[in-house]
Chain A
Amino acid sequence: MMKIQTVTVIGVTGTMGANVAGIFASFGDAKVYCVGRDIEKVKKTIPRIVKSVKADAIRKNLIPADFSMLEDCVSQSDLVFESCKEDIGIKKEIASRVGAVLQPHAVSGTGSSGLSIEEIASCYPEELRGRFFGIHMFNPPYTLPLCELTPTTYADKDLQAELKEYLRNRLYRTVVEVKDSPAFLGNRIGFQFINEALQYAEKYKDNGGIDYIDALLGPFTGRAMAPLATSDFVGLDVHKAIVDNIYENTDDYAHETFVLPEFATDLVSEGKLGRKSGGGLYQQVKYENGLKRQTTFDVNTGLYRDVIPYVFPFADKMKRRIAEGDYQKAFELLVNNHSQEAELCLSFLLKYIVYSLYATEEVGYSVEAADDVMATGFNWCPPLAMYQALSTVADVSQLIRERLPEICQRIDVGHYLADVKPSKYDYRPYFKSGR
């Protein structure tokens, strides 16, 4: 296996930089140069890295450094991982600096979640370009093992195979090879779903908007966290960067579902990004006496109000069935209930299956790739498992034709459905009861 004894992580004070440094220092047992702009800030990040893998033993592997030491660190490293701001200018500048001193045997990678890997690679000297890859992990990598590996056209194929083996067998990542396409595969599928949910929050603003949509796409539909709560968790700024990038640089049948609704653009410009900024799509109000109130942004009024405890009969019954492990009965309720909410919910799940199959053909190399990215990067019931789950009560391809006529007009759904295989993931753990 590839011998990686020394690693440089650039941009270590960021959430991903810190967490990825933890992965290299623990599973990889590598000496990690932790490079950030401000060495004092880097030193303060070390305990966070230790905590991210729950192991004091890695502390000795973590060596703080700043940008003035970058060349020194890189020239001693077997692997360099750049995890700076998602800004092509910054990334190219760093690539040039790394490329100037990278050892001939070393590997270099970027954690970029969607910029052009090819463009960054071009900053490396010609003889080193083949040693540069996209290595995109998900947050937090200790619990979400997905790693999207993106080769460029320059890629050294043997090196790619070795790197893949290292990531899989040494760092215990679920490695999915993807093409150099905006946002890669996981975020392409995930944010298609999340952004369309956000558009529906605007469309159904008179029904309640954000919390209304989340209430009908919650954990009982095969995920740990409802889609708009997920956006609030990762931050609307990150969400915006991802969907803008996809919208500008791709053109598929779901193109319009990547347009960020105006109210969300406004929230971003006001700095209301989500949990990390103290409020965004949701806002938790804390009182001095310790009481907490969960509020949400009301698209109609532009003000925050209490989250509404919606009770949709179909969802309520589904949750009760799931609580007792009667998954089939739960899916029967979903398929056979014709309330507006049940139909919306089912159409989202069907669209998710279709878009996953479509996107994996464009961005991935196998239909299973879609399953791997959604299960291990998002913790959502992956598309093939979702297909299998619904197949226990209905003919899913028939259902897709009935419920998604517009999409069926735009693409040859039959072509994509022909790729469906049994999933290696068990759908049951993903469908949760409770809110």
Chain B
Amino acid sequence: MSKVYILGGAQTDFERNWKKEGKGMIALLKEVLTDGLNHAGLTFDDVKELNKENRVACFVGNFIAEKYTDQGHLGAFLTEVDPAFYGVPSARYEAACASSSAAIDAGATKIRSGDYDVCVVVGWELMKTVESSVGGDYLGRAAYYEKEGKGIELPFPKLFGRLADETLKKYPWLDEQRYMDALARISVTNYDNAKRNPLAQTRRWFMSYEQASTRDTETNPLVGGRLGVSDCSQVTDGAAVVVLCSERFLEERDIENKPVVKGYGHRTAPMLFEKKMADNEGSEYTLPWTRQAALDAYRRSGLTVDDIDVFETHDCFTSSEYAAISAFGLTEPGKEYEAVESGQISFSGSKPINPSGGLIGCGHPVGASGARMLLDLYKQVTGTAGEYQVQGARNGMMLNIGGSATTNYVFVVGKE
């Protein structure tokens, strides 16, 4: 079985509003594929050549372009981007906000099996094509729409507001004030981190602890239960590409020092939030399947939390990043606030989470987020993250979730 290497990739500037630029998915995909292949040292002609021997394939991650841009059949759509993709095997993978992780998983599997030598993974979403209330309704389809989304204004903030409620319920020793403060600090850390990332959506925005911890105001209204706008990730247009390759390909091209996908975890929790919470009763974790996905990734990579120098997590809301802290094994379940209060997960801490800014700071084009996280791990372990480089990072872990932590994908990337 071949190891899976990451050759390179690219993301678009998440600050961009493609509708305002008068551009659609073709322009988005053209830019990100050109940049991503270029960064990986490949050209469209290379794709053509590799395809003659059926050695290259494409894996497209996207949640719901059918709604946002009236377009399906997105794997095939790459042929509109460049004729180099004529004849290249390509399909779309969907797992809500974890769509591009499903695409990464498929690509990595094809490399491991030896079927292909180069797998181009592209995740994308254009979300500013509609008003945020309409977009919020579209996203409701990542939950059980009939029961949890339909006719409900902003269903997802409400679901993750319920996760906050459940967290407080599950850990009776957890003081509400302490919890809400930790959530505010998580938000501020993500905004601060984004300031160092030249491609982050919020890099020019203002956020402070006071602003984040004072909810229910005109500029920080409540959006889901006790969560405010400051607890919430962004509506983002964007795309990310990662190019995976086999050991054979590296040898052929005499390429060295590329990071490896060392392990993964993939677990699916009950779809309905209510069932998800009922299911956790026997566990110490609010999200036991998220924890299990991390355990699986540790087992497959042969690493422990001590070996991981940097994390990228799915902070669609501050309450989901909070739960991820113990799922990664950084603290005991119910003691996540310790890692926040001690500064352990801040940029200068011993275990930084989201140096990129995460979904709150960097932005969350839902179908692109998994690929964006993998790309950020690539940057960290190759020492190419620029101003947001975590010094000496050798191994990184990412968690990408779909729905209300229903699909859980974890990847470990590191130096050999």
Question: Of the candidates B22, B208, B219, which one forms a contact with A29 in the assembled complex, judged by CB atoms under 8 Å apart?
Answer: B208
For chain A, the bracket of interface size reads 20 to 34
* Nearest Cβ on chain B to A64's Cβ, whole angstroms: 19
A101 at the interface (CB under 8 A from B): no
B210 within 8 A of partner (CB): yes
A411 at the interface (CB under 8 A from B): no
Contacts of B253 in A (CB 8 A): none
Q: Is B204 an interface residue (CB 8 A)?
A: yes
Nearest A residue to B24, CB-CB: A323
Cβ of A208 < 8 Å from any Cβ of B? Answer: no
**In residues 99-145 of chain A, which contact B (Cβ within 8 Å)?**
142-143, 145
**A53 CB contacts on chain B under 8 angstroms:** 206
Contact of B13 among A51, A57, A143, A426 (CB under 8 A): A426
Interface contact A54-B219, CB-CB below 8 Å = yes
Chain B residues lying within 8 Å of A219, measured Cβ to Cβ, are 22
Q: In the assembly, what is the distance between CA of A51 and CA of B220, in Å?
A: 12
Q: How far is the CB of B199 from chain A (nearest CB, A)?
A: 10
A56 touches B204 (CB 8 A): no
Beyond A56-B211, A57-B211, whether A432 also contacts B22 by CB under 8 A is: yes
Do residues A325 and B206 form an inter-chain contact, with CB atoms below 8 A? Answer: no
Q: Within the complex, which residue of A26, A323, A324, A434 is in contact with B206, where a contact is CB–CB below 8 Å?
A: A26
Least CB distance, A315 to chain B, in whole angstroms = 13
In whole Å, how far is A32's beta carbon from the nearest beta carbon of chain B? 14
**Residues of chain B contacted by A54 (CB below 8 angstroms):** 205-206, 219
Chain A positions within 8 Å of B217 at CB level: 56
Complex CA distance for A428 and B10, rounded to whole angstroms:
15
Give residues of chain A (145-186) contacting chain B, Cβ–Cβ below 8 Å. Answer: 145, 172
A432 nearest CB neighbor, chain B only: B21
Q: Which of A21-75 contact B (CB under 8 A)?
A: 26-27, 29, 50-51, 53-58
- Given known pairs A219-B22, A319-B22, A432-B21, the reply for A55 and B208 (CB within 8 Å) is yes
Any chain B CB within 8 A of the CB of A429?
yes
* Chain B residues whose CB sits within 8 angstroms of the CB of A221 once the complex forms: none
Whether B219 and A145, one on each chain, are in contact in the complex, defined by CB atoms closer than 8 angstroms, is: no
Contacts A56-B217, A325-B26 given; does A172 touch B204 at CB 8 Å: yes
CB of A194 within 8 Å of the partner chain: no
Interface residues of A (CB under 8 A from B): 26-27, 29, 50-51, 53-58, 142-143, 145, 172, 219, 319, 322-326, 426, 428-429, 432-434
The 4 closest A-B pairs by CB, nearest first: A433-B22, A325-B27, A434-B22, A57-B211
Can you add 5 more A-B contacts, CB < 8 Å, to A432-B22, A432-B23? A26-B208, A53-B206, A55-B211, A432-B20, A433-B23
List 17 interface pairs A-B (beta carbons < 8 Å), by A numbering: A26-B206, A26-B208, A55-B207, A55-B208, A55-B211, A56-B214, A56-B218, A56-B220, A142-B204, A219-B22, A322-B22, A325-B27, A325-B28, A326-B30, A432-B22, A432-B23, A433-B22
